[in-house]
Structure 1
Amino acid sequence: MLNTVPPHLEGLLRSGCLATGVDGAGLSILATSGAREPLYATDDLATQIERLQLTLGEGPCVDSSNTSSPVLIPDLADPQDPVASRWPVFRAEANRLGARAIFAFPINIGAIGLGAVDLYRLSPGPLTDPQLSSALTTVDRVGLAVLEAPDQYDDPSAPAMTSMVVHQAAGMVMAQLDSSIQEAMVRLRAAAFAENRTVNELAADVVNGHRHLAKETE
């Protein structure tokens, strides 16, 4: 379902490309079945890269999602790169398509993995420290935008978090986690996403005492 995302999410990815000095980006999310689903790509090459990884079941985005760690490939054509050598078919096809460097980052909210973002460049070379920092900031913002997308919850009141029960639950979670109200709302959204429920449904369980969001262990 590529190219069907809210304008805000599209804008985040495109501005992230500019700040990071890359030529394009792709976004995939983890479905409740555990399968990766391409959600959006900024251009045709990014679309092909996302679909190629989905078809082959290998590539930087797949590894990044599985390990919850960035996968940085500054030169896809480098035969000595130990990471890229794990995906011989993907590397050959991505090179044929014109990609020369790929940087993949997991989308995580706490301990919950939502998917990954791929950034590609038409020329080889590593990300500079400022570019890497920009990429990480972009991915964090994309993660929050994914959680706020109405299609994720099939609940028109969930994205804006306007339901009274949601606000009440957020206050209870804030006390449970000893956190800010903003962090409590993020945790509610992330838990609902992971459980394939609406935020309102989960919030009702929290308010009724049927659900408790525990602190994450370090």
Structure 2
Amino acid sequence: MSRELELVDAFVGLADTLVAGFDVADFLHDLLERSVELVDADAGGLMLNNAADGRLHFVAASSEQARLLELLQLQDEEGPALEAYRTGAQVSVPDVDGESSPWPTFLEAARAAGFASVCALPLRLRERTLGAMNLFRTSPGSLSAADASVAQGLADIATIGILNSRALEEQERLAEQLQSALNSRIAIEQAKGVLAEYHHVDVGRAFEMLRGFSRSNNLRLSKTAEAVVRREPAVEGLIPPRRRTAR
């Protein structure tokens, strides 16, 4: 397969992953494998920002040596991938032997792992950066402009996929919250009717009774309402429980 067809196949493959059954871990491993295959690289590692805690975490590597180098960067909080993440720009280390950099521990570890150069690319979309990908080479030298462009393009597609996934999860979470709120409102309206009828009061007074009982007993209003509708023993201070039918 020619390089052009390989590139088309890679971009289509990554885009297809966004359709259904999106698995972020599998998606990122696929990104890493395709990046190593398509450019002049021998191994790669990838770290991603966790939306929950705002910190970078290791997510994928093409070899054990690359995995250890990714973990080392996270442990020491320094290295080309972290620099690419912080700045949103590519970071190139053409020669780990001849490079004077602020990451001597990382360079020594990379050298010991058999790598001679590394290029870190941000996973970014406009001003938002979600993580970074390291591409390691066993020979010194920078990635060619074409290879760097291809790798960055793949990383950018991954960023779009992750953002789409997070947006979908947020929409689903909001939909669940809305449905829960609607269900709670139905239970509350039913409970107001039950209390109004039993105590011969208007629905406004019935709601005050319902809310007052919830607060004084440290209960959620919706749970109290559901218990009133079912006339459970837990709310017998508001309404007597249903009598059990004698057998």
> TM-score surpassing 0.5?
yes
Q: Tell me, what secondary structure is at the counterpart of 2:153?
A: helix
Matched, 1:27 2:43: no
The answer to which structure, 1 or 2, has the higher relative contact order (CA under 8 A, 6+ apart) is 1
Matched, 1:110 2:129: no
Please give the per-residue CA displacement for 1:4-56, whole angstroms capped at 9, x wherever unaligned: 95434322221111111101111111124332101111111110111110111
Are the aligned partners of 2:25 and 2:59 in contact in 1 as well (CA < 8 Å)?
no
Q: In structure 1, which of residues 61, 72, 78 is the aligned counterpart of residue 81 of structure 2? A: 61
Q: In structure 2, which of residues 59, 64, 89 is the aligned counterpart of residue 44 of structure 1? A: 64
How is 1:115-134 mapped onto 2 (pairs within 5 angstroms)?
Answer: 115-134=131-150
Q: Tell me, what secondary structure is at the counterpart of 1:86?
A: coil
Distance 2:127 2:35 in 1: 24
Matched, 1:11 2:27: no
Report the equivalent of 2:116: 100
Q: Which has the higher helix share?
A: 2
Are the aligned partners of 1:36 and 1:54 in contact in 2 as well (CA < 8 Å)?
yes
Are the aligned partners of 1:101 and 1:122 in contact in 2 as well (CA < 8 Å)?
yes
Distance 1:5 1:100, change over 3 A: farther
How is 1:56-205 mapped onto 2 (pairs within 5 angstroms)?
Answer: 56-78=76-98, 81-82=99-100, 85-149=101-165, 158=168, 198-201=170-173
Larger radius of gyration: 2
Distance 1:88 1:6, change over 3 A: closer
Q: TM-score, normalised by structure 1?
A: 0.63
Are the aligned partners of 1:30 and 1:36 in contact in 2 as well (CA < 8 Å)?
yes
Q: Tell me, what secondary structure is at the counterpart of 2:141?
A: coil
Report the CA distance between 1:203 and its aligned residue: 8.6
Q: Tell me, what secondary structure is at the counterpart of 1:123?
A: coil
Report the CA distance between 1:64 and its aligned residue: 0.7
Q: Tell me, what secondary structure is at the counterpart of 2:124?
A: strand
AA paired with 1:45?
Q
AA paired with 1:30?
N
Are the aligned partners of 2:28 and 2:60 in contact in 1 as well (CA < 8 Å)?
no
Distance 1:145 1:45 in 2: 27
Are the aligned partners of 1:29 and 1:115 in contact in 2 as well (CA < 8 Å)?
yes
Are the aligned partners of 1:9 and 1:145 in contact in 2 as well (CA < 8 Å)?
no
Q: Tell me, what secondary structure is at the counterpart of 2:119?
A: strand
For structure 1, the 5+ residue unaligned runs are 160-197, 205-218
Report the equivalent of 2:19: none
Report the CA distance between 1:90 and its aligned residue: 1.3
AA paired with 2:156?
D
Report the CA distance between 1:201 and its aligned residue: 4.8
AA paired with 2:36?
C
